[in-house]
Amino acid sequence: MSLAHASSLRRYPLLETVWASASLAFVSGLLDAWTFGQVGTFATVQSGNLISLGYFTAEGNVERALLAASSVLVFALGAFACSILILWLSRRGRSYSAAVLLVEILLLGALAALSAFREIEPMWIAWAISFLAGVQGNAFHRETGMLYGNIAVTSVIQMAAGLLGRAAGRHIADDGERHLRPAGAYLAVLAAFAAGGGAGFALDSRWEGVSLVLAAAILVALRVCALRGRGTIDPAGNGPTP
C-alpha cells in the first residue's frame, strides 16, 4: 500500500474501517444466531423473513407467518427511529455513533438478562433484537467511502465477486481503479458475519443469551474507540462521522 493511499484511508472515520465493519458484521451474526435459534426468525436478514412469510402463508401456518412479518416491521421501525435520531444529532452538529452504540449496548445487556432468566417470551426479545438490527444497519453502512451491509450480506457477496472479476479481467479492460483491496474488505465482512453466526449458535447451546452478552461487549469496545475518534468528517462528503 502506498503512503498516499494509507494516508487517504486514515482520513476516514474509525467506524468506516475494515476491522470496525467486520466487528459490526460479527455482531449481526450473533444477533441472528439468537433469534433464529430461539424463534426461527432472522434479526437482520429480512429477505429471509420475507421468504418465510410467503412460505408459512402458503402452508397455512398463520402464527409463523405473522412472526416473520412482525420481525420485518420492527426492523423497519428500528431503521426509521435511527434516521430520526441521526437527523436530530446532525442538526446539532454532533456525531451519532456513540449514541447509537450506547443504545445497542444497554438494550442488549437487558435482553441477555431476560433471555438467561427466561423472564418473558422469546418472541418479545426477538422483536427487540430485530429493532436494534434495523438501527445498526441504518447507522453504519459505509467502509472507506464504499457502501456495504453489516446486517445482510447478499449485496456484499455480489460486490466482492464483482470486484474480483474486475481484477481478474484487468487485461480485458482496465478501468484504473483498485479492486483487490475493496474486495478483501467485503470478504472480511462476509467471514465475520458467518463467524458470528457460528459462534452465537455454539455459545447459546451451552449458556443461553451469551451471544447477546458477547455482542454487547464488542459494541462497548467500538463505542470506546468511537468516543476517542469523535469529530472526524467523512472525506467522501457523505455526512457527519457515524
Name the residue ranges covered by the structural domains of the chain.
Answer: 25-228
Could you give the C-alpha distances from 148 to 9, 36, 189, in angstroms and in order? 16, 23, 9
pLDDT at 3 over 80: no
Q: What is the CA radius of gyration of the chain?
A: 19
pLDDT score for 152? 79
Q: Using alpha carbons, list the distances in angstroms from residue 77 to 155, 195, 219.
A: 22, 27, 21
Question: Quick check: 21 pLDDT over 50?
Answer: yes
- In angstroms, the CA 166 to CA 162 distance is 6
What is the pLDDT, as a whole number, of residue 63? 92
Among 147, 154, 138, 198, which Cα is nearest to 50's?
154
* Lowest pLDDT segment from 15-19, 58-62, 140-144: 140-144
Note if the pTM is more than 0.95. Answer: no
pLDDT at residue 11, as a whole number: 44
- Note the pLDDT tens digit of each residue in 179-192: 888 889 889 999 99
Q: pLDDT band at residue 201, thresholds of 50, 70 and 90?
A: very high
